[in-house]
């Protein structure tokens, strides 16, 4: 029985006479349509989650990978001198592109969410912060720490690795889970279409007997069922994808505040990716129904 | 054309047919008779490859059916017209489409053969019923539709299983005349029937051999028929 992917073209072209041999009615039609629509909707959602996680991981990785912070924790009267010493040391450190001490206003802005906007930095032992931007090759963090320890005793280097790595890892895992979910959705849809195709084939045993009696080949019989189910899955998945994309459009736009949650969705050319969902659903249905038809026709022989 | 050589067929542990040797020559007319349950339908199914023998050889147009793939059997079946006991139609399609089914199933354009289809519908007297659904037909109409479907591909052989089983005497004579006409066109005809009066009536029109199944074996029936 020849039902390879090469026959997808012939399947799409259709055969109106052959299409009529299988009765149109039956609960399997609604079941396939509903399953395909639901799975496509979920697939759009998991795709959006995966892509958003990927963007998040990339952003956290890029933005934070090349910046470090040095805290100058020293008595008030030594803080300025130690800051100057640290900046001079950084100027001669290989792999440091630029370094600058944050202004009082910038430090106040950083602390404002916790301590309020009217904070007097002089009244609190707040360390001075130095922002370090790395050159593309990066610097030797261990070497820099040793030099700071020797020349600026109040300086503490924080290269963000400690807290950045688990965040990036979590985002990567979330993306992997999203892709895994998409795969599981495709497999589940394949299983549901297989069950529906089995039910349809069993319910149409009489039709199959008549077709065999008049000289229809198994390929012809299987194609009539496969085409029916492939088109149903395609139609259902198109509906589910449209609804899923509409739901994504309805989500709040990404903003600086709370961008992790509001960033779920598609951006730019990524909007084209969910359009592949109906096509993939049709391929899954084609393969699942083909296998079910081969098995059932063998059993009914 | 169709040859059974020392064929046996068993089902569910019991042997239904044993040591059957039958040869249907081109253009011949055969009746297959015997009591109900003797194995007439089974023998007919062996003749068109719907069943495989448990022993012996069945050759259809010279090919051993046991050596063939299912699709090969399907291709051979297009050269054979089968009228099944219970007719077997696709109930959701009109009669005309059911009759044209062998054409569509073999990939031919049924629309291109529309004139032939019209002639055939007229031949079996179903022109007025072309758009009726099979459940709407009477027993005789169903049998005639089944016969039309069996011959639309202009097969070399026509196999009919109790074609007059559900019709009155007049209709059975009409069906018989159609089958005799086919034989006169050169088709090989094999009719399985338990109706001896049908066989006697046929002998007036055609030279037929009568095979009788008894005790799982086939015998050539004597002049008592």
What residue has token string 């012996």? B56
Residue A67 domain-assigned (yes or no)? no
Same domain, B163 and B66: yes
Q: How would DSSP label each residue in B122-180?
A: HHTT-GGGTTS-GGGS-HHHHHHHHHHHHHTT--SEEEEESTTTTS-HHHHHHHHHHHH
pLDDT of residue A88: 93
Give per-residue pLDDT as tens, B14-72. 889 999 999 999 999 999 998 888 899 999 999 999 999 999 999 999 999 999 988 89
Cβ within 8 Å of residue A16, ≥6 positions away: none
Q: Do B71 and A209 touch (CB under 8 A)?
A: no
Contact B102 A215 (CB under 8 A): yes
Q: Which of B108, B136, B154 represents a domain boundary (last residue)?
A: B154
Chain B residue nearest residue A217, CA to CA:
B71
For B166, the domain range is 1-79+155-225
Which among A218, A229, A166 is positioned nearest to A194, based on CA atoms? A229
| CA distances, B224 to each of A170, B176, B190, B200, B220 (Å) | 93, 21, 20, 10, 11
Determine the Cα–Cα distance for residues B124 and B145; give it in Å rounded to an integer. 7
Q: Tokens 């895994």 identify what position?
A: A180
Note the pLDDT of residue B45.
93
Provide ipTM, 2 decimals: 0.86
Q: Is B161 on the interface with A (CB under 8 A)?
A: no
- Whether residue A91 lies inside any domain: the answer is yes
The number of folded domains in chain B is 2
Do A211 and B75 make contact, defined as CB atoms within 8 angstroms? no
Whether the per-residue pLDDT at B223 is higher than 60: the answer is no
Contact present, A155 and A148 (Cβ < 8 Å): yes
Does B85 touch chain A if contact means CB atoms closer than 8 Å?
Answer: no
A53-69 burial, b for 16+ CB within 10 Å, e for fewer? bbbbbeebbeebeeebe
Q: Are residues B147 and B178 in the same domain?
A: no
pLDDT at residue B108, rounded to an integer: 80
Nearest to B102 among A214, A217, A219 (CB): A214
**What residues of A are in contact with residue B154 (Cβ under 8 Å)?**
none
Based on the domain organization, do B132 and B59 belong to the same domain? no
Those residues of chain A that have pLDDT short of 70 are 1-18, 25-26, 62-65, 121-122, 161-162, 254-262
A positions 122-181 inside 8 Å of B (CB): none
| Cα A61 to Cα A69: distance, rounded to the nearest angstrom | 16
Range of the domain at A129: 74-153
- Domain check: are B211 and B138 in the same one? no
Flag whether residue B92 sits within 8 Å of chain A, measured between CB atoms.
yes
The β-bridge partners of B218 are B213
Residue B84: closest C-alpha in chain A: A213
Cα B90–Cα B130–Cα A29 angle in degrees, nearest 5? 35
Q: Is the CB of A215 inside 8 Å of chain B's CB atoms?
A: yes
Distance between A10 CA and the closest CA of chain B, angstroms: 13
Inter-chain touch B71–A1, beta carbons under 8 Å: yes
Q: Is A131 exposed, middle or buried (0-12, 13-18, 19+ CB in 10 A)?
A: middle
B105: nearest CB among A24, A216, A301: A216
CA distance B42 to chain A (A): 14
- R_g of chain A computed on alpha carbons: 31
Task: State whether B140 and B43 are in the same domain.
Answer: no
Same domain, B74 and B162: yes
Which pLDDT tens digit goes with each residue over B118-177?
888 888 889 999 999 999 998 889 988 998 999 888 899 999 998 887 778 888 888 888
CB atoms within 10 A of CB B11: 12
Instruction: Give the one of B71, B88, B89 whose C-beta lies nearest to A217's C-beta.
Output: B71
The confidence score (pLDDT) of residue B13 equals: 83
A265-269 contacts, C-beta under 8 A, 24 or more apart: A265/A48, A265/A52, A266/A47, A266/A48, A266/A51, A267/A51, A267/A55
DSSP secondary structure string, A212-268?
HHTT--HHHHHHHHHHHHHHHHHHHHHHHHHHHHHHHHHSPPP-STTHHHHT-S--G
Whole-angstrom distance, CA of residue A104 vs CA of residue A120: 9
Query: Is residue B138 domain-resident?
Result: yes
* Residue contacts between A and B (CB atoms, under 8 Å): 62
Contact (CB<8Å) A214/B92: no
Sheet of strand B63-64, all strands in order from the earlier edge strand to the far edge: B14-24, B2-11, B55-60, B63-64
A245 and B180 in contact (C-beta within 8 Å)?
A: no
Domain assignment present for residue A69? The answer is: no
Would you say B110 and B100 are in contact if contact means Cβ atoms under 8 Å apart?
Answer: yes
Same domain, residue pair A88 and A23? no
Tokens of A259: 């961008």
Judge whether B57 lies within some domain: yes
Cβ contact, residue pair B77, A17, below 8 Å: no
Which percentage of chain A shows pLDDT scores above 70?
87
Residues of B in contact with A211 (CB under 8 A): 101, 105
Judged by CB atoms closer than 8 Å, whether chains meet at A220 and B105 is answered as yes
């Amino acid at each position: 029985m020849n039902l390879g992917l090469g026959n997808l073209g012939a399947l799409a072209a259709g055969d109106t006479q052959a299409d009529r041999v299988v009765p149109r009615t039956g609960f399997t039609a609604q079941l396939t349509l509903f399953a395909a629509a639901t799975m496509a909707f979920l697939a759009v959602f998991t795709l959006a989650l995966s892509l958003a996680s990927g963007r998040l991981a990339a952003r956290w990785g890029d933005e934070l990978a090349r910046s470090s912070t040095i805290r100058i924790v020293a008595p008030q009267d030594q803080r300025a001198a130690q800051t100057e010493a640290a900046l001079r040391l950084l100027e001669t450190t290989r792999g440091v592109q630029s370094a600058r001490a944050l202004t009082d206003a910038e430090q106040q802005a950083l602390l404002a969410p916790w301590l309020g906007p009217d904070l007097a930095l002089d009244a609190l032992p707040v360390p001075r912060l130095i922002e370090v931007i790395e050159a593309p090759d990066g610097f030797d963090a261990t070497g820099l720490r040793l030099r700071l320890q020797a020349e600026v005793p109040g300086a503490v280097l924080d290269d963000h690795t400690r807290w950045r790595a688990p965040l990036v890892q979590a985002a990567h895992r979330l993306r992997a889970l999203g892709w895994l979910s998409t795969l599981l959705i495709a497999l589940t849809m394949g299983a549901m279409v297989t069950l529906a195709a089995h039910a349809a084939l069993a319910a149409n045993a009489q039709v199959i007997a008549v077709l065999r009696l008049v000289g229809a080949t198994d390929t012809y019989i299987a194609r009539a069922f496969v085409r029916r189910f492939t088109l149903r899955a395609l139609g259902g998945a198109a509906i589910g994808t449209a609804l899923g994309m509409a739901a994504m459009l309805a989500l709040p736009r990404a903003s600086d505040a709370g961008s992790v949650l509001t960033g779920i969705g598609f951006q730019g050319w990524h909007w084209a990716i969910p359009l592949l969902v109906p096509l993939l659903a049709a391929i899954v249905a084609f393969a699942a129904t083909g296998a079910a038809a081969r098995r059932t026709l063998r059993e009914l022989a | 054309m169709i040859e059974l050589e020392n064929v046996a067929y068993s089902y569910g542990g019991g042997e239904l047919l044993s040591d059957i040797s039958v040869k249907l020559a081109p253009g011949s007319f055969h009746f297959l008779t015997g009591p109900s349950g003797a194995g007439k339908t089974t023998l007919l199914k062996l003749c068109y490859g719907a069943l495989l023998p448990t022993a012996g050889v069945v050759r259809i147009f010279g090919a051993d059916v046991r050596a063939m793939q299912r699709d090969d059997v399907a291709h051979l079946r297009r050269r054979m017209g089968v009228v099944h006991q219970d007719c077997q139609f696709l109930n959701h399609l009109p009669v005309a489409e059911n009759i044209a089914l062998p054409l569509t199933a073999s990939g031919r354009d049924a629309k291109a053969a529309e004139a032939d289809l019209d002639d055939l519908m007229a031949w079996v007297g179903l022109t007025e019923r072309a758009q009726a659904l099979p459940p709407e037909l009477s027993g005789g109409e169903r049998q005639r539709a089944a016969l039309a479907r069996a011959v639309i591909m202009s097969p070399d052989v026509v196999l009919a299983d109790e074609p007059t089983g559900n019709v009155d005497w007049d209709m059975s004579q009409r069906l018989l005349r159609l089958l005799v006409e086919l034989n006169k066109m050169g088709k090989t005809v094999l009719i399985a029937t338990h109706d001896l009066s049908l066989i006697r009536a046929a002998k007036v029109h055609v030279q037929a051999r009568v095979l009788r199944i008894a005790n799982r074996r086939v015998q050539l029936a004597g002049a008592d028929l």
